[in-house]
Structure 1
Amino acid sequence: MITVLVLLIMAEGTLSSGWSVTFENKNPCALKGSSVEFRCSYNYTDGETVRETAWQRGTFKNGSWTRVKLSDLPSYENRFKYIGDLQHNCSLAIHDLQENDTGYYYFWFDTDKYGRRSKESVYLSVTGLSARVYPERVRAGDSMTLECRMSCQLPGTVWFKDGHPVAKPQFQAQAEDSGNYLCAVEGHESEPSDPVALDIQYPPLNVSIEVSHTGHLTKGSSVNLTCSSAANPATDIYTWYKGTVFSSSSMLQVGSGQVLSLVSLEASHTGLYLCQARNSVGENNSTEVLVTVNQTDINRVILLVGIGVKVVIMLLIPLVIIWVWKKRCNSAVDKKEHSHDYENISTA
């Protein structure tokens, strides 16, 4: 009886020894949102006919490890496709991968004689991308690195800033580099990471002064000087300096705040004005602006005097002409009258 049992076991081993399941890649890694293909082949004893195939997902259920067909899991509905056959190809494709698809996958098939399931499995890792800037606080002129994080090793990554390609992930930061950055796996640019904002801090740039009044500044009038700049963080300290018309080498502080108001102007307000803008990163100066205050508006006086003189002249010329003309007429009459006083009278 014992001999017969041993022979039966040996016979079953012989029948079963001809089957196998082989996975081309037992540890694939794929990007969230992309697709993956498990390349697989299987063999069985000659003379058997395959009736059914299925892929299963390993999972804990009621505290124990079990295998569940993908077709029985609602989360895989319309996302997987068996691309093998009933001969020797057992490949599987899964689409629109999610991070919770990470796990163990097994192949199972039935022949007309036996039902078999693979002892080994495919372990799928699904990774999302996480963009990061290092260091987190960057100042203009600092060296910085863009880092694309993922849970497994994938081919090279590419970077984009506000939709435009970035040449390299390491560079010296400048003010214009501020923006939103995201990374993607090369060849899978349609599944990028969430964007990360890069905020470059820089001292005030393009510091300039705007004068509220153009033209002549006369004694007693008023004028405002406004300082503006581009800065990150915003400029929080403005300081005003004044130097003489002939020299700006020794300037004295004359005010603070973004606007310098000069009221009731005097000749002493004449000079070169400069604004210094400062934030937590640094400071920069504007170019000097010349303010000139005239005691009187000489040009206007000269103009008015000139007009007055012209008017007087225009009025006097006709009067002079009339006077001269009348004088000449009177002179001619007098001559005629006086000529009879000396007429010769002959004597008889």
Structure 2
Amino acid sequence: TPFSFHTKTARFSVVGRAMKILPYVSCVPCNPFSSLPLAGSQVQFPIAHNVTVAEGGTANMTCRVEHNDNTSLQWSNPAQQTLFFGDKKALRDNRIELVRASWQELAISISEVTLSDEGQYTCSLFTMPVKTAKAFLTVLGVPEKPKIGGLTKPAMEGDQITLTCVSSGSKPAAEIRWFRNEKEIQAGSKEVNATGKTFTVSSALRLQVDRSDDGVAYTCRVEHVALPASAQQATEVLEVHYAPRVEILPSQTLPQEGQYLKLDCISKGNPLPDSVLWTKDGGELPDVDRMIVEGRELTITSLNKTDNGTYRCEARNHLGTSSAEYVLFVYDPNALEQNGPDHALIGGVVAVVVFITLCLIIVLGRYLARHKGTYLTHEAKGADDAPDADTAIINAEGNQAHAEEKKEYFI
């Protein structure tokens, strides 16, 4: 008669005279035909889910069984090393801890996850036969903070430069975006190189710099699924040297005798010109007592006709020289006061004359349009071939087809 019994280490099954030792499953009475589900019993299957975690984070692995008849659960790693058997820890790894253990659930955690922890983990339910569930642990490689290379400070206006942004340690490969003063610009070429389990990503941005790039911030931003909250980024501020540009701004538009005039020489360059040079008509300023230079400003006091001429401001740095000119004409204040009313009077008279002329042209045109026809003088009326009055009226009201028959006679 078949029978079975259990010990702490093995289960012995005897059928007739044959006896075989089976692996230990549990310390509860079992049926010799336990490999087959009993009538009315519910099949037991463990359930586990894949886990994704960033490198350095904590992975929580959970295995559940909806219907369990007090059979133990076990977690093992990709190397088939047992991590936990029920609530008993089997592997000496301080990073692995027990979260919950019951007949229906076995949950563990792995802290400070590394790329080497990635792989397929197995949850085993020790029934006959043993049932398993697989859970794949995916470890994301966090990209390192990018670095921008290839920038030589300062750059010269017109130079061609290439900014290279490099970030390593990402898994999967990270994305790189470029920004000019927080406004995204089109990136250049991108390269992805595998280094073990991670990737090194680089992106090149080619520029032809000009003075508008001076002080502009170029930012390289690395985006990755392991960085959901904020991206890693690096920023470089360009310094561009360029030759100066000069502009002269006068303090007034109609300088008059007796007044003062201030000319401001605006020079923009990098590096900024240390000083500017003022000249008049190609030579030095003739009257240094009245023509005072302070920094970039030239002030002329008590203007008179002798101050008329061309004033030139010149600025330079190590990249070049630039200049601007201002033509000064000093006005007579009395002439400006007299000319003002005369111009207004002349303008008014001209406007009236033009208006009257237009009115006369319109009236004359209407008069001529209403008096078209045949006109005869008294002498012509006495002629034999002269038409009578009725005929003249009919001809005057006739259509344009008989326009060539109309006659006019003048004394």
Give me the TM-score of the superposition, normalised by structure 1: 0.49
Determine which structure has the larger helix proportion and give its number.
1
Give me the TM-score of the superposition, normalised by structure 2: 0.42
